[in-house]
Amino acid sequence: MRHYFAAGLATIAGLFICVDAATAVQTLSGQTASGAYYQIQVPDGWQPGGPLVLFQHGLSFDPPAPNPDLGPLAALQLSEGYAVAATSYSQRSWALFNAPDDNAQLLDAFKQQVGAPGTIIPWGGSLGGLISLKLAEDVRFAPVPGVLSLCPPAAGSRVWDFGIDARLAYDVVCKDVNSAGQLPKGKAPLTWAYNLSDIPSDLSDLEDQAELVRTLLPVNVCTGVNLPPVLQNDAMVRRLNQMKDFAHITSDKFFLTDMGYATYGLSDLVRAPDKLGGLNPFTTTGVVYSDPAINAGIARIDADRFAQLYLRWASDFRGRVDPSTKVISLQTSQDQLVIPANQSVLRANLPAVQLTSAIVNEATPTHCGFTTAEGVGAWEALRAWIAGGAQPTIAGIQGACQNAVSGGSAGPCRVDASIVPPSFDSQVAPRPASTAPNVDARWSGMWYDPARSGEGIELEILPGAKAMVTYFTYPPAGGTGRQAWLLGVGDVVGNGIEFADVLLPTRDAQGKVNSQHWGRIALSFDNCGSGGMRWDGPANWGSMEVPLVKLAELDGLGCGSSATTFSQVSGAWYDPATTGNGFLLERTNANTLQVMYFQQNTDGTQSWLVGSATTDGQGGYSAALSEPSGTQFGSGFDATKIAKPVNYDVTMQLGCASGTATLTARNGGGVQTFALRRLTVPAGIAACPS
């Protein structure tokens, strides 16, 4: 997934600066905190506020290396006044788990050394094409006026469904071959995945046929692929053709490359500790395959719900870009690695007014085998569109390519408006439709595990398919304090929510708030009232999965309600004078308000209080608040040890956007007053009048 022109806060670990006098380009390079390397080139005359191109390379098994390539259009882009930068990524293979963060660190390095850009244009090919699309969805890179995405695996997590199908189909087709034709088994229960130690370290991009033949000898024994015809027997040919037909592949070369991804790429994805860490995201149970023998014999496996969610969150482009962002995407017509059907997925995820998607008509199969003129033409068409020109048609992309040929770029131009990409499901067997509904505003509320009464989460579904979670719990074994709470903002993905950057906030003796990255939390729901939670925290907090049921829901936004908008005070509230402390409020009916108060203490510990308030009908609320303590986080949790003394009283007067609160300690500990402002408005709650 690496080559695509056939013709053609960052911690700086090392810094090299030079100026190329011939081209008047300043070059900077170094390494960021993630371990990724970067390279930046800035043309003479570029000023802060100027445009920046972020180039994204394709998939590679090579470890991060200094001075990553800036892409085949870099010289042109520099001559047009763009600064150009690229990261090596800190992960090998399917690098989407870290690539956005790697690019964010690259952007920080650029800002520190060059200045803040005015606009950012991500572009790349193959895996880099998908990463470019994902950057356009990430607010850290806004504004993104345009994206150039060549041959992207736009189906995201679905492209790996082909990988697991091919891997397990091989076991069926080659089951009667001697042991030399069997692929190695990995550690149970994922025996179809190689152990990490069995993946060669010098695979690069899996398009090195000689290397694949050497390392995938069982595939040769079973199918005879790449052997001279005189050495292939009828059984080999039959098995090879069965596998190629199953995978919609005509090329022996692509068959071997695809098997490389179905073995090495797939195994790295599920085994690598910085990806899925041994969890299975794949389902074959209930899938209907076109080949009767494979359908009857293929192993039936079921996905871990959290691995499936995490892979989808990291991999899927959901089209959540700014309405002004413009995307041009090209795909080669006979690509049998990143198949043209990916364009049908891209077309489904972006409005037609934001996307020009085109197929290049090639005579022989290639992966991203564009001519230089086709790449230049697509780039220039995007530039003109960003500058205010009309949206280019497919014929317009062909015309831009022909202009590039006239300007000296190597052709030919083969952009063909008559080619319509097939649906992805017609090429890769669809998975059984999920019966779980997608998360919406009705999922906001308080959730807990009944076996762990005394802790739980407050979940707010926010506009824009975002969500905020606050986990009210206790310190781990050996931790300080009597209580703990965690905070995260994440993405709604179908019937789940991924919180990839959960924070552990604290306050120092000088009053400064320090929020450190804690880990991640995933929520997966069966319906509006039940689901599950998985957390992966630091070593002393650990990982665990627990069931969830809804304890309280917002008034008017319960599981049985329809999606309408209500006026109420539910949401997060805080006093700007006491940043780091705040209230989470949930109005559960006209007379009742669930109140959760959270605080960061100056000794580095955390506190939280919870109670149910009644209203006076005039915007006033009062409640007695308990302060649970006595147990530990995670596997050390014991509900029988929790004491819930009522230590505080709170009174509140709330309007739509502002209010006051008074918190009084019953033990004579004093009174705190808060001038409250509303921080969040959950989805389904009316915004306050401006």
DSSP letters along 287-319, please? Answer: ---SSHHHHHHSPP----HHHHHHHHHHH----
In terms of domains, do 566 and 657 share one?
yes
Domains in the chain: how many in total?
Answer: 3
Question: What is the per-residue pLDDT across 608-667, written as a single tens digit (0 to 9) for each?
Answer: 999 999 999 889 999 999 999 999 999 999 999 999 999 999 999 999 999 999 999 998
Last residue of some domain: 385, 419, 453? 419
Give the angle 470-473-479 at the CA atoms, nearest 5°. Answer: 120
Both 100 and 192 in a single domain?
A: no
Average pLDDT over residues 106-124: 98
Please compute the mean of the pLDDT values over residues 139-155 and round it to a whole number.
98
Task: Mark whether 535 and 656 lie in a shared domain.
Answer: yes
Q: Is residue 667 part of a domain?
A: yes
| CA–CA separation, 124 and 63 (whole Å) | 19
Same domain, 174 and 233: yes
- Helices (runs of H) and strands (runs of E) counted in the chain: 14, 26
Range of the domain at 299: 157-306
Is the pLDDT score of 109 beyond 90?
Answer: yes
Query: Contact at 8 Å (CB) between 277 and 305?
Result: no
| Token duo for residue 451 | 């076996």
From 306, 334, 354, give the residue that closes a domain.
Answer: 306
Block residue for tokens 């069982």? 218
User: CA-to-CA distance for 270 and 268, rounded, in angstroms?
Assistant: 6
240 and 332, same domain (yes or no): no
In angstroms, what CA-CA distances link 48 with 79, 105, 112, 630? Answer: 17, 18, 11, 54
Q: Is residue 10 part of a domain?
A: no
pLDDT exceeds cutoff 70 at 560: yes
Mean pLDDT to the nearest integer, 487-515: 92
Q: Is residue 427 part of a domain?
A: no
d(CA 366, CA 427): 18
Residue 110: inside a domain: yes
Mean pLDDT throughout 304-321?
97
Q: What is the pLDDT of residue 19?
A: 37
83 and 43 in contact (C-beta within 8 Å)? yes
Q: Does 296 share its domain with 378?
A: no
| The pLDDT value given to residue 570 | 95
Residue with tokens 């394709």: 58
Residue 689 lies in a domain: no
For residues 454 and 595, membership in a common domain is answered with yes
What is the pTM assigned to this prediction? 0.92
Helical pair 372-386 and 394-406, crossing angle rounded to 10 deg: 120
9 lies in some domain: no
User: Is 131 in the same domain as 188?
Assistant: no
Nearest to 367 by CA among 389, 337, 326: 337
Q: Quick check: is 5 in a domain?
A: no
Domain presence at residue 11: no
pLDDT at 14: 30
* The predicted structure's pLDDT at residue 565: 67
Are 627 and 547 found together in one domain?
A: yes
Q: Are 299 and 325 part of one and the same domain? A: no
For residue 121, what is the domain's CATH number?
3.40.50.1820
The percent of residues in the chain predicted with pLDDT above 70, rounded, is: 95
**Domain co-membership, 132 together with 34:** yes
Name residue, tokens 């690496």: 2
Q: Is residue 467 located within the same domain as residue 610?
A: yes
531: nearest Cα among 544, 545, 548? 548
